[in-house]
Structure formats: structure tokens, C-alpha cells
Amino acid sequence: MKEIQYPINISAPDLVNVCVDESCDGEVAGRLYHCYRKEELCFSNLVQLLRMMEKFFDEIQFPQASTKSRSFFSPETGEKTQKTKLAAQSDIILRRGKKATFIIVVQFRQNATWQGDLFWVEKEEKQTFSSTLDLIKIFDGNLTVAAMETDNKTIPDEYAVGK
């Protein structure tokens, strides 16, 4: 098996590996891995995945959010404890999805959205996103390309990686 050179910081504390096992009509299902948990986190749609990632970033307090969400419920008070890594980053990045695998590193959480890098493992392509919507579009475009390649269809320019 060929060793992959990762063009992103694989030692980042907020690195997540998104393994997509199913993709149909823009909806995805799969598994999420990070180094602070030995077990996988399963998601059945994109919104659930994004909520899991946001909760994870809040738990490890990295990257720190520049804004805080308001709530009608009183927030949990108490001191935040330092999270302990339970799995090696090198093990996390080896997991693969049935349809696609994306390694995501969010560098900033500014203006109530995310900025960072996504690495599509199967294509060995890095893409940068400047908002959560941008991340969703890249994610969807990559899965559409993967599905079209599987079906041996011509890929329209608007789905070409990096556009």
C-alpha cells in the first residue's frame, strides 16, 4: 500500500477523520474519528456530522470560537478539564470510508463559522474552506465526483475539484 503524504497538519489537536460509507442525493452517512475517543462516532446526515464536530471543538476548546451561542437554558458551569488523547493521530488517519475519506482540520472559528483545510484521501487533494457552507459545498462536490467516477460518467466543470 502506497504511503500518503498529507499536506495538512496531522498532529493538529482538532483533526477529524470523516469516513463516508453512504451517499445518496446529497445526504451522507458514516463515521467520525478523533484522537480523544477510541470509538467511532456514527452520523446519519450532514447536519448531525456538523453538530458532532462543533461539540468536539467546544469540548477541546480548540480552535476557540470567536462568538458564543446564546441559549434559553442555563449553560453548564464549572471548570473545563484538559482532554486526554486516547488514540494516536497516526491511527486516526488510517481509517477509511466505503465511499470516501476526508481529513479535516479547522484552523479558526471566526464570525460564527469555520475556516480550515480538507484533505480528500482517495484523490490525495487538499482544499481550503473559508466557511462551513464552503466546507459543505466542497464535501458535496467531492462526493458527486466520486459517484460519477464510479458510474463512469463525465464530470461537469462545476464539480471539478478546486473550482
Supply the pLDDT for residue 117: 97
pTM of the model: 0.85
Supply the pLDDT for residue 66: 81
Supply the pLDDT for residue 148: 82
**What average pLDDT is seen over the chain?**
88
Supply the pLDDT for residue 13: 94
Supply the pLDDT for residue 73: 72
Question: Which tens digits make up the pLDDT trace of 12-21?
Answer: 999 999 999 9
Please indicate whether residue 4 or residue 57 has the higher confidence score (pLDDT): 57
Residue 79 has pLDDT above 70, yes or no: no
Query: What is d(CA 62, CA 82) in angstroms, rounded to the nearest whole number?
Result: 11
DSSP-H helix ranges across the chain: 46-60, 89-92, 132-150
Please indicate whether residue 143 or residue 152 has the higher confidence score (pLDDT): 143
Please indicate whether residue 155 or residue 152 has the higher confidence score (pLDDT): 152
Query: What is d(CA 118, CA 20) in angstroms, rounded to the nearest whole number?
Result: 14
